[in-house]
Amino acid sequence: MIKILAIDDDKGILTLIKNALEKEGYAVTAVSHPDRVGALKLQDYQLILLDVMMPEKDGFTLCEEIRGLTDCPILFLTAKTDEEALMRGLGIGGDDYISKPFGIGELRARIAAHLRREHREKKYAVSVERVQFQLKAKRIFYEGTELELTKSEYAICEYLAMNHGQVFSKERIYEAVFGYDGDSDSSVITEHVKNIRAKFKRVHCEPIETVWGIGYRWKKEKSER
């Protein structure tokens, strides 16, 4: 079932949205206070409806805070129609605007259109099982806990995880991460993988598997717990 998150300080609008969309078969989480969004697992949602004019934290600020945590479409609900405001919202990662007051038919149609386009390449955040990659920020989290990786360690993890299940030789990984003009050799991959494993072991996760005689792959998660 498609999950939609609706954030608006007007509880009447939230009730309207929730009732209308649930009739279409969507599962809707309605949040009236932006500070409660941090407790949600944002990657579970396929679309977010976000009010711009909220008194304690406006929708633009909240969008900037959460954009790195999810790649789903963010549609602003707003009475502001000036070009400067529209450009700001799109520039910080918003996908579209729905002007208030809006009709239920328009709301449903705009949501359906964005969901149909959701086969786009991910730019902001990707989850591989319980490991989440913030692609632009180059950060890795395991079940919400950030792992402090070096730039090279992150690059190796991202390369293997985005191609999880495939086996890559040390030479192939080196070329993908450091390029053909790297000033070292593929033997450094072994040391990097050793360090990565040590850091993941602290959160009881073993994501990189050695395939003897060939190289490494990002394997299906197996927790030690």
| pLDDT, tens only, 76-108 | 998 866 677 777 788 888 888 888 888 999 899
119 pLDDT higher than 70: no
Nearest to 134 by CA among 198, 67, 225: 67
CA distance 40 to 123: 21
Six token digits for residue 203? 């959160």
| Res 225: pLDDT | 37
pLDDT tens, residue by residue, 158-179: 999 988 888 999 999 988 887 7
161 close to 207: Cβ distance less than 8 angstroms: yes
pLDDT tens, residue by residue, 53-73: 888 888 999 998 888 888 888
> Average of pLDDT values for 107-113?
89
117 pLDDT higher than 80: no
9 close to 55: Cβ distance less than 8 angstroms: yes
- Domains of the chain and any CATH numbers: 3-116 (3.40.50.2300), 125-218 (1.10.10.10)
How many CB atoms are closer than 10 A to CB 50? Answer: 25
Q: Which residue blocks in 117-181 are alpha helix, DSSP H? A: 151-162, 170-178
CA distance 123 to 101: 31
CA angle 131, 136, 137 (to 5 degrees): 70
The position carrying tokens 């000033």 is 183
| Res 221: pLDDT | 58
pLDDT tens, residue by residue, 5-58: 999 999 999 999 999 999 999 999 999 998 899 888 888 899 999 999 888 888
- Return phi, psi of residue 7, to 5°: -125, 115
Hey, CA dihedral for 162, 168, 173, 176, is it positive or negative? negative
pTM: 0.60
